[in-house]
Amino acid sequence: MRRLWISLFAVCVFAFVACSGSRKAEPTVDAPTKTAAAPKKVYAQPRYPVKLDSAELLRLEIAHGSFLRAIALQAQGENAIAEQFMQHAYAADPENRFLAFSVLELMEERGATAEAAQLAEKAKNLKGKKTSTQYALLGRIYGEQSNLDSAVVYYKKAVDASDQNLHAAYEYALLLEITRDYDELSRIYGILLPQIGYPQSILERQISLLATAKKDSALADLFGEVYEARGDRSFLENRIRLLLAMKHFEDALKSVEEFRADSAYADDSLSVRFVMAVYSGLKQDSVALDTLREIYKRNPERGDVLLDLSLFETKLGKKEQAIIHWQRLSGMETYAAISFGMLSAYALESGDSAQSLTYLEKAYEKAPMAYRNKLLVRYSADKNYAKAYAILDKALLPNEKYDTIRTQLMTDGKLEEMRKLDLEIAMDKAKLYYEYGTLLQMNAEDLERAPTTQARKDSAMTLRKQATDQYVKAGNIGGDSQNLLFAYGSNLLMFGMVDSAIVVFKRIFSLYPMDVVAKNHLGYTLVDLNRNAEEVKWGSKLIDDAIQQDPKNIAYRDSKAWALYRVGKFEEALKIMEGIEAEKDSLSDEMMHDPSIFSHMAAICEALALKKRAVEYYEKVLTIDPQNENAKSRIEILKKKEE
- Domain membership flag for residue 632: yes
**10 pLDDT higher than 70:** no
Total of domains in the chain: 1
Of the listed ranges 169-178, 246-255, 363-372, 432-441, the one predicted with least confidence: 169-178
For 478-525, the pLDDT digits (tens) are 999 999 999 999 999 999 999 999 999 999 999 999 999 999 999 999
Q: Are 129 and 19 in contact (CB under 8 A)?
A: yes
Write down the pLDDT at residue 132: 87
Q: How far is CA 85 from the centre of its chain?
A: 64
Q: CA torsion, points 108, 113, 117, 118, in degrees to nearest 10?
A: -110
Rounded Cα–Cα distance for residues 605 and 337 (Å): 58
- Domain membership flag for residue 595: yes
Percent of the chain with pLDDT over 90: 55
Q: Return the higher-pLDDT residue of 164 and 390.
A: 390
- Domain membership flag for residue 282: no
**572 pLDDT higher than 80:** yes
For 275-289, the pLDDT digits (tens) are 989 999 999 988 989
- Domain membership flag for residue 337: no
The pLDDT confidence band at residue 53, using thresholds 50, 70 and 90, is low
What per-residue string of b and e applies to 524-544 under the rule 16 or more CB within 10 Å gives b?
bbbbbeeeeeebbebbbebbb
Percent of the chain with pLDDT over 70: 90
**34 pLDDT higher than 50:** no
The pLDDT mean for the chain works out to: 86
For 531-543, the pLDDT digits (tens) are 999 999 999 999 9
Phi–psi pair at 628, nearest 5 degrees: -70, 105
Q: Are 608 and 602 in contact (CB under 8 A)?
A: no
- Domain membership flag for residue 621: yes
Mean pLDDT calculated for residue range 183-210? 91
- Domain membership flag for residue 238: no
Write down the pLDDT at residue 96: 87
- Domain membership flag for residue 616: yes
Range of the domain at 620: 588-643
Of the listed ranges 26-40, 342-356, 385-399, the one predicted with least confidence: 26-40
Task: Show Cβ contacts of residue 130 under 8 Å, excluding neighbours closer than 6 positions.
Answer: 97, 161
Rounded Cα–Cα distance for residues 368 and 358 (Å): 14
Write down the pLDDT at residue 400: 85
Of 583, 622, 575, the C-alpha closest to 599 is 622
Rounded Cα–Cα distance for residues 275 and 260 (Å): 9
**38 pLDDT higher than 80:** no
Max Cα–Cα distance, the chain, nearest Å:
159
Rounded Cα–Cα distance for residues 137 and 160 (Å): 15
For 69-87, the pLDDT digits (tens) are 888 888 888 888 888 888 8
Rounded Cα–Cα distance for residues 602 and 75 (Å): 115
Q: Are 175 and 152 in contact (CB under 8 A)?
A: yes
- Cα Rg of the chain, angstroms: 45
